[in-house]
């Protein structure tokens, strides 16, 4: 009897220990701390930081992607570092410095390959996602950027200096590269829609963007919104806008303009303009809340303390918040109930309820920039 | 005649802060400018100024360049490139302060 009681007690005591060892990653995320070369692993449900991990090198302009099992994050640093982080053990499990100066990366649709776009030397390097061993190098003759994953084990990127887009097919034994020339002057970033069909590159050197239909037999680049700023005075750009795969808002795609303080709306199929919204400043990110009902926008220096919320049906601004100095990035929870906003110069991440637009939580972080939730693992182009 | 002398004196007084140039940048401004260089120039030139979309701005990369030229580039940008003019957002004294800051080996 006493033995049974003792045994029972032991198993009761042991249970919490066991529960702690098991943990799912679906509500986890990573916050980049750009000045200190560290990241925070966060828990979305608890509004909490679980751990700080250091040793990522120069994380100015850092981004990351997740493995299909949502356990590992591949962090792309400015200094060419590609670092693999285990969210569960909270440790770095692999790191290579693969170039001198990098701008972002992507993971293949099957999760087997990680690609990094480089400014210095230009081009894209491709690695085995397991071992971080290099499997291919795709030269570009200039600064490679706007690197996205496309269905069929493909990667797509553009080249600032030459105005080209390259489609890299990794489905065979050797990489097969298709080059589209003359897509537009100085592409600065790109996105791919969440159906994997449309690759859109933003152009710095001209008013307009370039779109490529990846479903086409022979993909070609087509100018969209040509001369969208015609007649308006060009404004200086103190920070380049970013294009990300959160652009689909219902039947439309929303895009930040450049040199103009507005966001642009186009029909997702015809790619014709459906409207414009004048904004508080030069938009940096224009991100559709999952479901697409609203779009959240942040801005370049010196207007970067503000976030505006735009209704995607009326194109009207329906909310404006001032989270604090230097809002660098925003991330929605998977179903869009919350938006997490990084406020670099106040060393915090502010959590907003997306219905009330009121802050409901805060996490301390050192100069936070990008915020990435694991649900990205299961979306194309993120 | 005394009127002219007075006027001249008044003009000189008005001009004084401009002549003082970088002296007009106090310690609090210096911290703000240092932050600006790190973070906001850093978004194109890199946190460590080794370059990105913008060219490297390390003392080695800028070696031999004249501070006037650098300050002018900061104030007026480089036309037809991504380097924007900062004149709308800062004074000439601040641009000179940044030029000197970039030319001197402040980090590492």
Residues of A in contact with B75 (CB under 8 A): none
User: CA geometry: angle at A263 spanning A222 and A326, to 5°?
Assistant: 125
In a domain, B36, yes or no: yes
Nearest to A284 by CA among A335, A326, A315: A326
Please name the member of B38, B52, B85 whose beta carbon is closest to the beta carbon of A61.
Answer: B52
Section A235-240 average pLDDT: 93
Give the nearest partner residue to B50 out of A35, A101, A236, using CB atoms: A101
| Helix-helix angle B2-20:B92-103, to 10 degrees | 40
Q: Which residues contact A240 (CB under 8 A, 6 or more apart)?
A: A188, A189, A204, A258, A284, B43, B44, B53, B82
Range B11-27 average pLDDT: 51
At residue A193, the pLDDT reads 92
Digit-coded pLDDT (tens) for A320-340:
999 999 999 999 999 999 999
Q: Which residue of B has its CA nearest to A142?
A: B53
- Chosen from B42, B43, B74 to mutate, greatest number of chain A CBs within 10 A: B43
Chain A residues in contact with B48 by the CB 8 A cut-off are 58, 60, 79
B68 part of contact set with chain A, CB < 8 Å: no
Q: Are A101 and B89 an interchain contact pair (Cβ–Cβ within 8 Å)?
A: no
In this prediction, residue B108 has a pLDDT band, given cuts at 50, 70 and 90, of very low
Interface contact B54, partner A, CB < 8 A: no
- Please give the share of chain A, as a percent, with pLDDT higher than 90: 82
- Highest mean predicted confidence (pLDDT) among B44-53, B79-88, B98-107: B79-88
Does residue B108 form part of some domain?
no
pLDDT tens figures, A25-68: 999 999 999 889 999 999 999 999 999 999 999 888 899 999 99
Whether this prediction's pTM lies above 0.95 is answered by no
List the single residue in B47, B50, B53 with the smallest CB-CB distance to A35.
Answer: B47
Residue A10's pLDDT is: 46
Q: Which residue of A has its CA nearest to B42?
A: A60
pLDDT surpasses 70 at A354? yes
Question: Which of B76, B71, B72, B61 is CA-nearest to residue B98?
Answer: B71
- Residue A17 pLDDT more than 80? no
- Hey, is the C-beta of B78 within 8 angstroms of any chain A C-beta? no
Q: Is the residue at B39 inside a domain?
A: yes
**pLDDT score at A230:** 77
Domain, as residue range, for B95:
4-14+24-103
8 A C-beta contact, residue A93 and residue A50: no
pLDDT at residue B1, as a whole number: 37
Average pLDDT over residues B32-53: 89
| Nearest one of A333, A315, A322 to A358, comparing CA atoms | A322
pLDDT on residue A106: 97
Question: Across chain A, what does the average pLDDT equal?
Answer: 92
Does position A8 have pLDDT exceeding 80, yes or no?
no
Residue B97 lies in a domain: yes
Query: If you measure CA to CA, which chain A residue comes closest to B74?
Result: A238
Give the CA dihedral A132, A136, A141, A142, nearest 10 degrees.
-20
Chain A CB within 8 Å of residue B88 CB: yes
Domain range annotation of chain A:
29-60+323-355+363-382
Chain A residues whose beta carbon lies within 8 Å of the beta carbon of residue B38 = 35
What pLDDT does residue B17 have? Answer: 39
- pLDDT band at residue A292, thresholds of 50, 70 and 90? very high
3-state SS, one letter per residue, for chain A: CHHHHHHHHHHHHHHHHHHHHCCCCCCEEEEEECCCCEEEEEECCCCEEEEEEECCCCCCCCEEEECCCCCEEEEECCCCEEEEEECCCCEEEEEEECCCEEEEEEECCCCCEEEEEEEECCEEEEEECCCCCEEEEECCCCCEEEEEEECCCEEEEEECCCCEEEEEECCCCCCEEEEECCCCCCEEEEEECCCCCEEEEEECCCCCEEEEECCCCCCCEEEECCCCCCCCCCCCCCCCCCCCCCCEECCEEEEECCCCCEEEEEECCCCCEEEEEECCCCEEEEEECCCCCEEEEEECCCCCCCEEEEECCCCCEEEEECCCCCEEEEEECCCCCEEEEEEHHHCEEEEEECCCCCEEEEEECCCEEEEEEHHHHHCCCC
Q: Do B46 and A58 touch (CB under 8 A)?
A: yes
What pLDDT, in 10s, does the model give residues A162-218? 999 999 999 999 999 999 999 999 999 999 998 999 999 999 998 899 999 999 999
Q: Are A326 and A345 in contact (CB under 8 A)?
A: yes
Q: Note the pLDDT of residue B2.
A: 42
- Establish, for the pair of chains A and B, how many residue pairs have beta carbons separated by less than 8 Å: 62
Range in A307-311, B17-21, B22-26 the model is least confident about: B17-21
Residue A370 contacts residue A342 (beta carbons within 8 Å): yes
pLDDT given for residue A3 in this prediction: 56
Residue A241 has pLDDT above 70, yes or no: yes
Interface test with A, best of B34, B35, B53, B85 (most A CBs within 10 A): B53
> Inter-chain contact B40–A238, Cβ cutoff 8 Å?
yes
Question: Which ipTM was obtained for this model?
Answer: 0.81
B52/A119 CB distance under 8 A: yes
Q: Which of A125, A146, A234 is nearest to A189 (CA)?
A: A146
The count of other CB atoms within 10 Å of the CB of residue A16 is 9
**Domain count along chain B:** 1
Which of A61, A79, A204, A326 should one mutate to test binding to chain B, selecting the residue with the greatest count of B CBs within 10 A? Answer: A61
Whichever domain contains B63, its CATH number is: 1.10.760.10
């Amino acid at each position: 009897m006493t033995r049974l009681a003792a045994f029972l007690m032991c198993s009761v005591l042991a249970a919490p220990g066991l529960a702690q060892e098991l943990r799912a990653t679906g509500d986890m995320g990573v916050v980049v701390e750009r000045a200190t070369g560290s990241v925070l692993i966060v828990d979305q449900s608890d509004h909490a930081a679980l751990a700080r991990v250091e040793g990522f090198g120069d994380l100015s302009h850092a981004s990351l992607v997740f493995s299909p099992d949502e356990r590992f994050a591949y962090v792309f640093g400015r200094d060419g570092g590609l670092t693999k982080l285990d969210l569960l053990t909270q440790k770095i499990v692999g790191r290579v410095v693969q170039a001198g100066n990098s701008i972002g990366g992507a993971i293949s649709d099957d999760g087997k390959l990680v690609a990094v776009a480089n400014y210095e030397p230009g081009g894209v390097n491709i690695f085995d996602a397991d071992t971080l061993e290099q499997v291919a190098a795709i030269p570009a003759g200039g600064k490679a950027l706007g690197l996205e994953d496309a269905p069929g084990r493909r990667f797509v990127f553009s080249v600032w200096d030459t105005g080209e887009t390259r489609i890299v097919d990794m489905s065979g034994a050797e990489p097969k590269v298709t080059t589209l020339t003359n897509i537009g002057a100085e592409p600065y970033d790109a996105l791919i829609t969440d159906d994997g069909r449309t690759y859109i590159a933003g152009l710095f050197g001209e008013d307009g963007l370039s779109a490529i239909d990846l479903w086409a037999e022979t993909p070609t680049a087509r100018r969209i919104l040509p001369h969208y700023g015609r007649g308006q005075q060009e404004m200086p750009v103190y920070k380049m806008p970013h294009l990300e795969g959160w652009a689909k808002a219902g039947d439309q795609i929303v895009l930040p303009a450049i040199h103009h303080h507005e966001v642009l709306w186009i029909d997702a199929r015809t790619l014709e303009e459906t409207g414009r919204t004048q904004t508080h400043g030069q938009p940096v990110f224009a991100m559709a809340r999952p479901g697409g009902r609203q779009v959240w926008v942040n801005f370049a220096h010196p207007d970067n303390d503000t976030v505006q919320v735009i209704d995607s049906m009326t194109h009207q601004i329906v909310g404006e918040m001032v989270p604090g100095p230097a809002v660098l990035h925003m991330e929605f929870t998977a179903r869009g109930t919350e938006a997490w906003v990084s406020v670099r110069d106040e060393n915090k991440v502010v959590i907003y309820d997306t219905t009330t637009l009121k802050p409901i939580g805060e996490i301390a972080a050192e100069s936070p920039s990008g915020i990435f939730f694991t649900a990205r693992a299961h979306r194309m182009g993120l | 005649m005394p009127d002219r002398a007075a006027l001249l004196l008044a003009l000189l007084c008005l001009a004084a802060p401009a002549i003082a140039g970088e002296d007009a940048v106090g310690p609090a401004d210096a911290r703000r400018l240092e932050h600006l260089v790190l973070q906001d120039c850093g978004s194109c030139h890199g946190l460590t100024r080794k370059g990105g979309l913008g060219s490297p701005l390390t003392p080695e990369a800028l070696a031999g360049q004249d501070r006037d030229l650098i300050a002018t580039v900061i104030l007026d940008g480089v036309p037809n490139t991504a380097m924007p003019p900062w004149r709308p957002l800062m004074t000439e004294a601040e641009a000179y302060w940044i030029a000197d800051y970039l030319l001197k080996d402040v980090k590492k």
